[in-house]
Amino acid sequence: MSGSRLNKYIASSGVCSRRKADELIESGQVMVNGKKVTELGYCVTQKDKVFVAGKLIHPVKNEYYRFYKPAGYITTTDDEKGRKTIYDLLPKNLHHLKPVGRLDKDSTGLLILTNDGELINQLTHPSVKVPKLYRVVIDDRITQNDIDKLYKGIEIESGKIAYAQVDVIECSDKETVMEILLYQGLNRQIRKMFEALGHNVISLKRVQHAILTLDGLKRGEFKPIKPGQIKDLKNFIRKLESKNA
C-alpha cells in the first residue's frame, strides 16, 4: 500500500470505516511516526507507523464470504445465555470476520461475512438504502389493505416507521408466500410489521443482499465471494450513494 490516504489506511486495518477514521483523525486520536495528524487528506506509505488511540495498526487483507445461515443460531460472536452462534458452524480461521447486519435466531438465509470495515459501513448505513430481499411465509391470507399498509409504513416501535414492498407468490386461507423487499435494517423489522397487522410469520429467509444471492449455497455452507463480484458490489454501492446523496 503506497501513497494511501490515512483514512483508507486505517479502514484497511479493520479498525473502522473511512467515515469513522475521519472522525478519529479530526479528534486527534491518530499518530503517524510519533506525530499527531489531524489533516484528513494526509497520505502514508507502508514504511510509516500509524497509531490509532495509542495502538499500532497494520493493513490486513480483506476477505469476503457468503454464508447460508440455518435456523437456531444467533448472529453474534458469543452469547451470555449460551445459545448457539453462527461461529459454531464456521472454522476458526473465519472467526475474525464480521456479519453484515443480522438475522434473528429463527430466520435463515444470506449473510455476508467480511473484515472490510468500510464495506460493512456502506452496506448497513441507513442513508445508502441497500436493498435486501426476503422470502416470507405467514400463517393466513394477506389482504390488499395489509400490502398497502406495509408499503406506506407501519410504526413498529415508538417513533420507528418500517416500510416494505410486497410481491405475493402464493396465497390461501392457510398461508401466504411472499417476497419482501426492504431498504431499512431495523431489528426484527419484518416480524414486527406482520405482528402489528395480526399475522404470524412461519418462516423468514433472506435470499439477496444488494447484488449477492444464495445461489449455489446449501444451509450452513459458506463460500468465498469472487473478486469480480466484490468489484461489482462496490460499484453498485457507489451508484446507490450517488443516487441517495
Q: Is 104 a catalytic residue?
A: yes
C-alpha cell at position 216: 449455489
Catalytic residue, candidates 48, 104, 140, 232: 104
For 8, what's the count of Cα atoms within 13 Å in the CB-facing half-sphere? Answer: 11
SS (H, E, C) the chain: CCCEEHHHHHHHCCCCCHHHHHHHHHCCCEEECCEECCCCCCEECCCCCEEECCEEECCCCCCEEEEEECCCCECCCCCCCCCCEHHHCCCHHHCCCEECCCCCCCCEEEEEEECCHHHHHHHHCCCCCCCEEEEEEECCCCCHHHHHHHHHCEEEECCEEECCEEEEEEECCCCEEEEEEECCCCCCHHHHHHHHCCCCEEEEEEEEECCEECCCCCCCCEEECCHHHHHHHHHHHHHHHHHHC
Residue among 125, 239, 234 at smallest CA distance from 185: 125
Beta strands 108-114 and 201-209: pairing type? Answer: parallel
Beta strands 212-213 and 201-209: pairing type? Answer: antiparallel
Could you give the residue numbers annotated as active site?
104
